[in-house]
Structure 1
Amino acid sequence: MYPHPSRRTALKAGGALAAGTLPGLATGTAEASPSGHHDPWRQVPRILARIRPPTFRRRFFDITDYGAVGDGVTKNTAAVRAAISACHRAGGGHVVVPAGRFVTGAIHLRSHVDLHVSEGGVLAFSPDPADFLPAVPTRWEGTECYNYSPFVYAYGQRDVGVTGRGMLDGQARLGPWESWHRTSGLQGPDQKLLRQMGTDGVPVRDRVFGAGHHLRPKMVQFYRCRDVLVSDLTIVDPPMWTVHPVLSTNVTVRNVTVESTLYNTDGCDPEASSHVHITGCRFNTNDDCVAVKSGRDEDGLRVGVPSENIVVQDCDFSGRWGGITVGSEMSGGVRNVFAEDCRINPPDFPGHYPVKYPLYVKASKKRGSRIEGVYVRRFTGRAVEREVAFVTMNYNNGEGGTRPVSVRDIHLSEMRIDGARAVLNLVGLETDRLSGVHLSHCTFSGVRGPDAVAFTDDLTFHKVTVNGVEVS
């Protein structure tokens, strides 16, 4: 039985923002270099030095030794779980999925265990929702609840990994998941109910979904974990968000390829997590590629944990919405997101959809809170569908909220993008202005229209050219 997540003191609407801080979210994001100029990138080496992937004992537990059969038909949930339990009891090591196609239900990882999917090995997840019960504690679109288990799941564990050159196949097209989401069909009423529970402060233990409900599970979720590694895998056909660390720290996601083309299937969503390194990954998604989140509305404010010190490097982005996205679930706050050396719509990695926005920041007065310090540099790419950067504090027309919201310190440098509707779409609010958007040493070509800027202070350009003309 999983314990109930602890409840924290509710934040009064706008109270923390009025004081200028949020729990765990300090003010000020840049530091001075010896020349006197602020260089936030000086923080990155120190952040990366604190992110250390877990290592595992050289003990190997082959799932076929526990009865697994890789015929693509036999259901192997019990065998996989037995191997994980044996590995954990022995002090840790590698649970090995050999070559073959192994069908399974929910996989629950334990501390010190690496689930290693060998080259030629496939974990194919059952299309039957019953294979992901009983319901477990999770966060669903930023609100805590009990729901269907994520396909690969760890709760409160330490030193856990999912690695190998094999594949995780969500087989979501074979299950009911897409039909639950399409046009908000069956999922809509449950989604509305959960959000209302979060608004009303219903105890998490009473927010029970799962059987008889229609909230899709995540593919891989680490919930309240530390020292996490996801490495080298190909992950295809998830039912919802693909890799989702929540309330976790010291997380490495490296050399992972995501093919997620059903509705609302983000690539990687670090949520209310700190010290996260996403590197060498390729994202072909039907939503955001990397989306940094921290909880939704009243429930996100109740938990009050920000995402901070996130570093994204050397990734390929082909996704329907944002390359690097912050929000829209950001009520716990976001600080210090760094992304560099990524490629937008690369010709050698053609996706199903072109990226709409290489940088997409989404906030609103319903969510409240603060986004402080988003730094993007050395992105190259082509054929951006809309703007290079869309930063909005009025997401979904503000969603009817009244909380103070702050977005500040957005930096783009050394960008080389060919083809976009415009460079900037900046949407501040008359009551809550966007502050500190800085572009430097950027070259944009094939730009079809002008920027749109509203209620924005301290917007600067330094050595920026658009269609061959320097912008002042």
Structure 2
Amino acid sequence: MISNKVIVFKSVSIVSVIALMLLSCAKKVSVVSESDPWKQKELIVKGISKTNFSNKIYNINDFGAVADGKTLNTNAFEKAIKSCAENGGGQVLVPNGKYLTGAIHLESNVNLHLADNAEVLFSINPKDYPIVHTSFEGTELMNYSPLIYAKNKTNVAITGKGILNGQADRTNWWIWSGGKDYGWKKGVPSQNDPKNREVLVDMAEKNIPVAERVFGDGRYLRPNFIEFFECNTVLIKDITVINAPFWILHPLKSNNIIIDGVTVNSHGPNNDGCDPEYSQNILIKNCTFNTGDDCIAIKSGRDADGRRVAIPSKNIIVQNCKMIDGHGGVVIGSEISAGVNNVFVEDCVMDSPNLDRAIRIKTNSKRGGIIENVYVRNLEVGTVKECVLKLNMFYNVYGSQTGNFIPTIRNVSLENVKVKNGGKYSVWAEGYKESPVENITLKNVTIQKVDSIYLLKNVKNIKFINTYINEKKVESIKN
């Protein structure tokens, strides 16, 4: 095993591919053939159930909607959705035009469809978002409704080439983040005030029932944009989402989700593009993410709340996506306490001087979690700022983040990866002596330019197979 001394190997060029052939069976890990994980991916894709809707159409204009961008159409959306659901389902049509609304709550068997030149403008008045059971940064609570929300629904969709515009900026939702870059100044209330986010985290640590974790007015915890909570069989297709208050696409405790052809363009604080949390059997394909935070961030709850819920996120596939700006292309964590496994990323392009990392896993000893079986192949990376692959058990962004829940990271594979500029490191991996980062494989990886080949601390079994960094072949490290 690589010792707890930090190893930094200097160089100036980067191309990386990680391939690892290990699967976890119950409590033991067994080695499998190279092709097996990707065969499993095909089975996952085939097994995801698909939405199916009646051909009936319910035009929101027939329920009183006015496309002037000023009239509040919340009631028109509610009436159209209710009528559609009560009559066996179908399509709720948002025709061309600009429609202002508060929260939209979807029902089973309803496809909310945006015409090509339709734009839904969401109110920036918090009073237009009723208190519902939701989540904030991996902790459940009663808070402002997500802008679009569905709870305990089946066979539900948002489709069409129109725009969902959260209208968030430095004068409204974003200022609540407490970030100076987003309009906050000393004396202005924010989520960082002691009675707000810290109180929520403390409530979860004390196992206070979610129904008693009531926030909302005066607590400055921003709502998610699109949240499917405890839903099954969901489609999000072709829409464009801009100017989000907070996390953007958030499947929570949901199963069988397809996100296809979606464009996310939102650079606000915590503007993650897609955050599957406690969710399983997710296919994210043909999407573009240009974000103020992680492009895709796979979650499974924060600290005590994640351990209480104890639902791992698993069977998540990312295909043919483009990642532009963001903290990471495909990220796992940091709200990761229930664990993540079986993640497949293939045929993606990541490129921006404002993209920090390509693939990242982040956790710490407060979060804990078992993160395993992450397979990446056929990746084209132009420029990333920091590194191509970062696996970190010491993630620390909110002050002290240490506890007694030592995480596990194992079985991570990059294969057929081409990188032009990898930033500071091709691989940055840090584990604990008692829980090293284990089983990393880079196979057929080429990194043309990078400052240092790797930074490694407590890493066990890292393999470089046919991998060239800064025009030199990299040898595997013997334990």
What's the TM-score once normalised by structure 2's chain length? 0.89
Deviation at 1:365, TM superposition (A): 0.8
Whether the 8 Å CA contact 1:286–1:320 is kept in 2: the answer is yes
**Partner residue, 2:451:** 448
**Partner residue, 2:8:** none
Task: Confirm whether residue 262 of structure 1 aligns to residue 259 of structure 2.
Answer: no
Whether the 8 Å CA contact 2:163–2:240 is kept in 1: the answer is yes
**Partner residue, 1:180:** 176
Whether the 8 Å CA contact 1:125–1:151 is kept in 2: the answer is yes
**Partner residue, 1:239:** 245
Task: Confirm whether residue 167 of structure 1 aligns to residue 132 of structure 2.
Answer: no
Q: For residues 420 and 30 of structure 2, what CA distance do their matches in structure 1 show? A: 30
Which residue, out of 457, 469, 473, partners 1:470? 473
Q: For residues 410 and 430 of structure 2, what CA distance do their matches in structure 1 show? A: 12
**Partner residue, 2:323:** 317
Which residue, out of 321, 330, 333, partners 1:327? 333
| Structure 2 runs not aligned, ≥5 long | 1-23
Structure 1 61/193 Cα, relative in aligned 2: closer, same or farther at 3 Å? Answer: same
Q: For residues 277 and 440 of structure 1, what CA distance do their matches in structure 2 show? A: 25
| Deviation sequence 1:263-319 (CA, Å, 0-9, x none) | 110000000100000000000001000100000000100000000000000000013
Structure 1 407/104 Cα, relative in aligned 2: closer, same or farther at 3 Å? Answer: same
- Structure 2 residue identity aligned to 1:136: V
Whether the 8 Å CA contact 1:368–1:404 is kept in 2: the answer is yes
Q: For residues 129 and 291 of structure 1, what CA distance do their matches in structure 2 show? A: 26
Q: Map 1:300-449; keep pairs closer than 5 Å.
A: 300-345=306-351, 354-396=354-396, 399-420=401-422, 421-449=424-452
- Structure 2 residue identity aligned to 1:39: D
| Deviation sequence 1:76-130 (CA, Å, 0-9, x none) | 0000100000000001000000000000000000000010011000110001010
Whether the 8 Å CA contact 2:453–2:469 is kept in 1: the answer is no
Q: For residues 450 and 273 of structure 1, what CA distance do their matches in structure 2 show? A: 35
Moved over 2 A (4+): 24-33, 182-185
**Partner residue, 1:66:** 63
| Deviation sequence 1:196-235 (CA, Å, 0-9, x none) | 1111111111000112221000000000100011000000
Q: For residues 126 and 368 of structure 1, what CA distance do their matches in structure 2 show? A: 38
Structure 1 67/175 Cα, relative in aligned 2: closer, same or farther at 3 Å? Answer: farther
Whether the 8 Å CA contact 1:25–1:335 is kept in 2: the answer is no
| Deviation sequence 1:371-399 (CA, Å, 0-9, x none) | 01111111102111111001001111871
Deviation at 1:174, TM superposition (A): 7.3
Deviation at 1:32, TM superposition (A): 3.4
Q: For residues 222 and 403 of structure 1, what CA distance do their matches in structure 2 show? A: 29
Q: For residues 197 and 82 of structure 1, what CA distance do their matches in structure 2 show? A: 37
- Structure 2 residue identity aligned to 1:82: K
| Identity, % of aligned positions | 38
**Partner residue, 1:150:** 146
Q: What count of residue pairs does the alignment treat as equivalent?
A: 439
Which residue, out of 236, 250, 253, partners 2:256? 250
Whether the 8 Å CA contact 2:114–2:162 is kept in 1: the answer is yes
| Deviation sequence 1:343-375 (CA, Å, 0-9, x none) | 011xxxxx6x62111001001110112001111
| Structure 1 runs not aligned, ≥5 long | 1-23, 346-350
Q: For residues 147 and 405 of structure 1, what CA distance do their matches in structure 2 show? A: 30
Bigger relative contact order (CA 8 A; separation at least 6): 2
Q: CA RMSD in A?
A: 1.6
Deviation at 1:400, TM superposition (A): 1.7
